[in-house]
Amino acid sequence: MTHALRTRTHTWQPRPETTPDLRGLTGREILQALVDGQLPAASIMSTLGFRLLEVGDGTVVFEGDPGDHLLNPMGTVHGGFMATLLDSALGSAVMSKLPAGTAYTTMQLNINLLRAVQSDTPALRCIGTAIHVGRTTATAEARILGTHDGKLYAHATTTCAILRG
């Protein structure tokens, strides 16, 4: 059995140096600058094929494109694609509530994968919502929905540590 080789090329902009100007932005301002193209997107986004579409106060919307470059040995899109999409939405929802000079890191990630994603599945929408953002910890939830069918493909929760600078 012979299969034609495929090539996938992606490009990305390097992360900007953390300057006093950047440290002076709130999490929501940084995320909005990403949406508006004023700051480069995180390189993982171009690597896996997803993008940040919307930012609100404690909410974010990402969209991701499955494809055959993401297949696992069983022939479906690897769960790591959805896990990364969910983790990005969860963390960004928390980030959207953080004041300037504050960061976060994921402490716990809980994921439920409910339905298989095929290589030809249309774009998936991931909506993240911050539930609690306190002085030292935060929690959030996220869901992945099919843009074509509205079905729930996965959902997750997270606990993050808040890192005050």
> pLDDT tens across 57-85, in order?
999 999 999 999 999 999 999 999 999 99
Number of domains in the chain: 1
- Check residue 135 and give its pLDDT: 96
Based on DSSP, count helices (H) and strands (E) in the chain, helices before strands: 4, 6
> pLDDT tens across 28-58, in order?
999 999 999 999 999 999 999 999 999 999 9
Residue 22 lies in a domain: no
Q: What is the percent of the chain with per-residue pLDDT over 70, rounded to a whole number?
A: 98
- Check residue 16 and give its pLDDT: 76
Tokens 């495929």 belong to which residue? 6
Query: pTM of whole model > 0.85?
Result: yes
Residue 156 lies in a domain: yes
Residue 17 lies in a domain: no
The CATH number given to whatever domain includes residue 148 is 3.10.129.10
Residue 1 lies in a domain: no
* Least confident interval from 14-23, 48-57, 59-68, 107-116: 14-23
Residue 19 lies in a domain: no
Residue 18 lies in a domain: no
Residue 16 lies in a domain: no
Instruction: Report in angstroms the alpha-carbon separations of 160 from 71, 90, 129.
Output: 29, 9, 13
> pLDDT tens across 85-105, in order?
999 999 999 999 999 999 999
- Residue 155 to residue 130: CA distance in whole angstroms: 14
Examine the pLDDT at 165 and tell me if it is beyond 80: no
Residue 7 lies in a domain: no
**What integer best gives the mean pLDDT of the chain?**
94
Domain span at residue 84?
A: 27-163
| Token code pair at residue 30 | 């940084």
